[in-house]
Amino acid sequence: MAEAKGNAAFSSGDFTTAITHFTEAITLAPTNHVLFSNRSAAHASLHQYAEALSDAKETIKLKPYWPKGYSLLGAAYLGLNQFELAVTAYKKGLDIDPTNEALRSGLVDAEASVSRSSQEATETCKISDSTMAEEAKAKGNAAFSSGDFTTAITHFTEAITLAPTNHVLFSNRSAAHASLHQYAEALSDAKETIKLKPYWPKGYSRLGAAYLGLNQFELAVTAYKKGLDIDPTNEALKAGLVDAEESVARSRAAPNPFGDAFQGPEMWTKLTSDPSTRGFLQQPDFVNMMQEIQKNPSSLNLYLKDQRVMQSLGVLLNVKFRPPPQGGDEAEVPESDMAETSRSEPEVEKQREPEPEPEPEVTEEKEKKERKEKAKKEKELGNAAYKKKEFETAIQHYSTAIEIDDEDISYLTNRAAVYLEMGKYDECIEDCEKAVERGRELRSDYKMVARALTRKGTALTKMAKCSKDYEPAIEAFQKALTEHRNPDTLKRLNEAERAKKEWEQKEYFDPKLGDKEREKGNEFFKEQKYPDAIKHYTEAIKRNPEDPKAYSNRAACYTKLGAMPEGLKDANKCIELDPTFSKGYSRKAAVQFFLKEYDDAMETYQEGLKHDPSNQELLDGVRRCVQQINKANRGDLTPEELKERQAKGMQDPEIQNILTDPVMRQVLTDLQENPSAAQKHMQNPMVMNKIQKLISAGIVQMK
């Protein structure tokens, strides 16, 4: 069953699923050479040549005199650019079957590749470098995902050394630099990204982010606009443009006297290098305050009561602020300074209003904190109700939380989850879209945005009623994965793509058109245009996957082209669909006969005769098999044929079991040394049957 599923997936072009089913089948039948052969072909179709090579070697190990194994071995070596080894593999196959067209064609390709390889040494080096670059890139991506941006930069730099024209590597390193607030380096990499790939929107997103970090807001606006000219629907560019334009508007407002101290990447360098502020950078709330002050210098007043901010301001201005006095409301002022001030500006001193203290801001911050706490409690109540499946109550709590605090998109995504459970998919999608939009505005955690997009995709799949309905769901999952690569999202994406394909097959189903395509295939078959015939038979199968005739006819084409595994696969499918259809058995047996598996072919012909006892094609097949088996029994085989027959027999698990059976080993010894005892053994039908199998395999010869 697993093999049949793998064959079906392979025929439909779903090689990944085919590999899964073949692997399952191999677990159940680890000595079946055809399974390894099929899996090798599937790996090669996905350009996974190392895996294809391993399976091809196992195929040959199990069936050394099977030409198809060497064809697959050669193809794997070709894919790995090991051309000399490919030539050797094809030649070994042709030693077994000199007329095999697939092996001949492969040998021509391999020899042509060998002749080109000396002239393409540089290109081969590039391919090697490209592989190493991909490995370094993968390590960089893993480090980036875990938040280790310094290590990510190291790996991306290594990859760039190996593949200096790969724009994605510069883009990724730019993002890593930006995450470390190294905006000058991020800008340089962003520019190189655009230079290598001028029409790639993400390059302009990186460029805009770098300019924003450097407080070059006008240039950031220009960068984001250029990106949107290329991709007007790009959400990241849209969100970046909003931030840049807001920053431009703020920069034109009245400057804060201390605002410049917090601008540019130098701020982070100074704070890191000073022992008194270095520890603050390990505190997320402090980092958030610094980022907010960088974006909006006028917000400095909100945080002046925080001693860490005051300490940082002193470091940035190279000024030492004394800590606040412990004993009174006002700090002591040296007498000489007081006198100086009084003499120079006596009237002004008397009339000057006291500096306004930032009490309103502090109160506002306190109120904000209280709101957040209150909203958080509502969320917790909503979570508790959700677990109890009290969905209406949960929605009320989440809605209250949203009203209290609209800066936490988790309330929206949680309410969307409730709607999803209730089957209110439109409401779920609406909440998810709001969460994504608000998350972009607030620059929320990518994981939260990804969660909203995943939930939206899930709701869309629940509503899907045709293949096209899955397209927006797939798009939502893909966007979620660009935000955060989550295994659950990836699983949902694969399920949606698989469901879409199933729907497409259902929508494509049309037996009448399938019959027409089969007839077209028949015409090409008569003209001996087998590849064209296969094309139409395949289309017929797509239109009607339950038509055994289409599989039978395509099996005949594959057999004519020497593609025996494919022919055997279609013949098996034909028998599976209609066990009474004699053509399926004749197709399968023809492949087995061609592969010199005469006993298997005999069994297949006899199985077909059970359903159609008078079928002449099946009867002729039995006769041919008997002739070949008797030829072996009489010892009429040439030494080469006998050697091949024995080698093939030794690969048969049944033959191996017979030879390792202690009773049969004694029987074989008696046949050589004790004829009278051997005669008694021969009266046992089970023993006689096993002896006959050994004779057919050429292991035992009767004279």
For residue 223, count other CB atoms closer than 10 A to its CB: 29
pLDDT class for 364, splitting at 50, 70, 90? low
Residue 671 tokens, joined: 């046949």
Listed ranges 82-96, 577-591, 678-692; the one with the highest mean pLDDT = 577-591
**What one-character DSSP code corresponds to residue 491?**
H
CA angle centred on 490, ends 146 and 159, rounded to 5°: 45
Instruction: Give the relative orientation of helices 616-633 and 598-611 as an angle to the nearest 10 degrees.
Output: 150
Q: Give the pLDDT confidence score for residue 363 in this predicted structure.
A: 60
Q: Give the pLDDT confidence score for residue 327 in this predicted structure.
A: 39
Q: Give the pLDDT confidence score for residue 257 in this predicted structure.
A: 56
At residue 114, the 3 state secondary structure works out as helix
Q: Give the pLDDT confidence score for residue 342 in this predicted structure.
A: 35
Q: Report whether pLDDT(576) > 90.
A: yes
pLDDT class for 365, splitting at 50, 70, 90? confident
Residue 439 tokens, joined: 């998350």
Residue 22 tokens, joined: 């073949």
Closest by CA position to 606, among listed 630, 631, 623: 623
Q: Report whether pLDDT(335) > 50.
A: no
pLDDT class for 302, splitting at 50, 70, 90? low
Amino acid code (one letter) for 316: L
For 81-90, what is the mean pLDDT?
Answer: 89
Whose structure tokens read 């004790």? 674
Residue 251 tokens, joined: 């920069």
Q: Where are the beta strands (DSSP E) in 52-197?
A: none
Q: For residues 382 and 401, what is the distance between their CA atoms, to the nearest angstrom?
A: 9
pLDDT class for 688, splitting at 50, 70, 90? confident
CA angle centred on 61, ends 58 and 66, rounded to 5°: 100
Higher pLDDT, 170 or 257: 170
Residues 419-473: tens digit of each pLDDT: 999 999 999 999 999 999 988 888 888 889 999 999 999 999 999 999 899 999 9
pLDDT class for 298, splitting at 50, 70, 90? low
Lowest mean pLDDT among 146-150, 248-252, 557-561, 632-636: 632-636
The mean predicted confidence, pLDDT, of the chain is 82
CA angle centred on 19, ends 18 and 24, rounded to 5°: 100
CA angle centred on 681, ends 680 and 686, rounded to 5°: 135
Amino acid code (one letter) for 321: F
Q: For residues 459 and 432, what is the distance between their CA atoms, to the nearest angstrom?
A: 10
Listed ranges 9-18, 87-96, 605-614, 643-652; the one with the highest mean pLDDT = 605-614
pTM over 0.75: no
Amino acid code (one letter) for 279: G
Q: For residues 660 and 677, what is the distance between their CA atoms, to the nearest angstrom?
A: 20
Q: For residues 338 and 344, what is the distance between their CA atoms, to the nearest angstrom?
A: 10
Those residues with Cβ within 8 angstroms of residue 374's Cβ, 6 or more apart along the chain or in another chain: 404, 405
Q: Report whether pLDDT(617) > 80.
A: yes
Q: Give the pLDDT confidence score for residue 58 in this predicted structure.
A: 92
Q: Give the pLDDT confidence score for residue 681 in this predicted structure.
A: 74
Q: Give the pLDDT confidence score for residue 650 in this predicted structure.
A: 74
pLDDT class for 361, splitting at 50, 70, 90? very low
Q: Where are the alpha helices (DSSP H) in 509-547?
A: 511-526, 530-543
Higher pLDDT, 302 or 164: 164
HEC string of 344-396? Answer: HCHHHHHHCCCCCCCHHHHHHHHHHHHHHHHHHHHHHHHHHHHHCCCHHHHHH
| Structural contact between residues 82 and 66, judged by C-beta atoms closer than 8 angstroms | no
CA angle centred on 626, ends 623 and 631, rounded to 5°: 130
CA dihedral of 489, 494, 496, 500, whole degrees rounded to 10: 160
pLDDT class for 262, splitting at 50, 70, 90? low
For 681-690, what is the mean pLDDT?
Answer: 80
Q: Give the pLDDT confidence score for residue 321 in this predicted structure.
A: 58
For 577-584, what is the mean pLDDT?
Answer: 94
Lowest mean pLDDT among 55-64, 144-153, 575-584: 144-153
For 14-37, what is the mean pLDDT?
Answer: 87
For 209-235, what is the mean pLDDT?
Answer: 88
Taking CA atoms, 286 is separated from 257, 291, 293, 309, 365, in Å, by 21, 9, 11, 8, 15
Residue 540 tokens, joined: 């017929």
Residue 317 tokens, joined: 């201005």
Q: Report whether pLDDT(308) > 90.
A: no
Backbone angles phi, psi at 320, to 5 degrees: -95, 115
Q: Report whether pLDDT(338) > 70.
A: no
Residue 83 tokens, joined: 């051309």
Q: For residues 391 and 414, what is the distance between their CA atoms, to the nearest angstrom?
A: 11
- 500-509 CB contacts, 8 Å cutoff, 24+ apart: 500/467, 500/470, 500/471, 500/474, 501/12, 501/14, 501/467, 503/464, 503/466, 503/467, 503/470, 504/467, 505/542, 505/545, 507/466, 507/467, 508/542, 508/543, 509/543, 509/544, 509/545
Whose structure tokens read 């087998």? 530
Q: Quick one: how many helices (H) and strands (E) in the chain?
A: 40, 0
For 225-254, what is the mean pLDDT?
Answer: 82
Q: Give the pLDDT confidence score for residue 557 in this predicted structure.
A: 92
| Structural contact between residues 70 and 97, judged by C-beta atoms closer than 8 angstroms | no
pLDDT class for 117, splitting at 50, 70, 90? low
